[in-house]
């Protein structure tokens, strides 16, 4: 039986297919790839969950919806219903335009902020009470189309900063699985805020 408030499922948001592999919008997929390498987990297609699913050695699951971003909630909802998860047992990792490149923020609940993946998840599971990891990709230059920006390729310097953020989060996933989400949130958010103030 799953214990409430311990993270049981990590959902990485992104779009399937080679055309999107290196786009800013696929940050969630990148994090799950890093987690899978560390957790000795292998992703395989799970049709009933409309996604790629892996299970780590400690029992945590990683899910990459293959529905495309704006229908991600179908995958998350199917998994949550099958395993009878509460929203607080679900951690969603996604890109965030409102954070500087490589910044990290954890939060519990809240609006979708215009992110179509979050909007879909909230609609499908009927609540916004799941947990999130927001990884900053920065805002596009003035005059740029936002859709083209998030689906565009990450620059090498941005890649390094985002990868560093991903590693930082992956190193904390086991603590979150064991129920220390609030402690991890306070530590990472404070450290990240201090870094931003030093710039």
> What's the confidence (pLDDT) of residue 191?
66
Instruction: Return the active site residues.
Output: 25
Strand, coil or helix: what is 167?
helix
Handedness of CA 61, 167, 44, 137 (dihedral sign): positive
Report domain 9-198's class. Answer: alpha beta
> Counting beta carbons within 10 angstroms of the beta carbon of residue 11, is it exposed (0 to 12), middle (13 to 18) or buried (19 or more)?
buried
Q: Per residue in 141-179, pLDDT tens?
A: 999 999 999 999 999 999 999 999 999 999 999 999 999
Whole-model pTM? Answer: 0.93
Which DSSP letter does residue 17 get?
A: S
Q: Which residues of the chain have pLDDT under 50?
A: 1-4, 196-199
The pLDDT, as a whole number, for residue 5 is 76
Q: At what angle do helices 27-39 and 156-170 cross, to 10 degrees?
A: 50
pLDDT, position 188: 93
Distance CA 131, CA 89 (A): 8
CA distance 149 to 141: 9
**What residues does each domain of the chain span?**
9-198
Q: Where are the alpha helices (DSSP H) in 1-145?
A: 27-39, 72-83, 116-125
**How many residues belong to the chain?**
199
Which residues 6+ apart lie within 8 Å of 186 measured at CB?
A: none
């Amino acid at each position: 039986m799953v214990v409430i408030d311990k993270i049981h499922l990590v959902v990485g948001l992104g779009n399937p297919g080679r055309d999107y592999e290196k786009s800013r919008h696929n940050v969630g997929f990148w994090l799950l790839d890093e987690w899978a390498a560390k957790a000795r987990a292998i992703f395989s297609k799970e049709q009933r969950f409309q996604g790629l699913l892996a299970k780590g050695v400690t029992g945590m699951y990683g899910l990459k919806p293959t529905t495309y971003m704006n229908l991600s909630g179908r995958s998350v909802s199917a998994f949550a219903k099958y395993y009878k998860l509460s929203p607080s047992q679900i951690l969603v990792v996604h890109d965030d335009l409102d954070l500087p490149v490589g910044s990290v923020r954890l939060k519990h609940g809240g609006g979708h902020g215009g992110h179509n993946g979050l909007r879909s998840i909230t609609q499908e599971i009927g609540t916004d009470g799941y947990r999130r990891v927001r990884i900053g990709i920065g805002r596009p230059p003035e005059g740029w189309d936002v859709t083209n920006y998030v689906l565009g390729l990450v620059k090498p310097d941005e890649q390094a900063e985002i990868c560093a953020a991903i590693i930082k989060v992956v190193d904390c996933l086991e603590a979150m699985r064991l129920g220390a989400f609030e402690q991890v949130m306070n530590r990472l958010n404070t450290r990240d805020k201090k870094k931003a103030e030093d710039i």
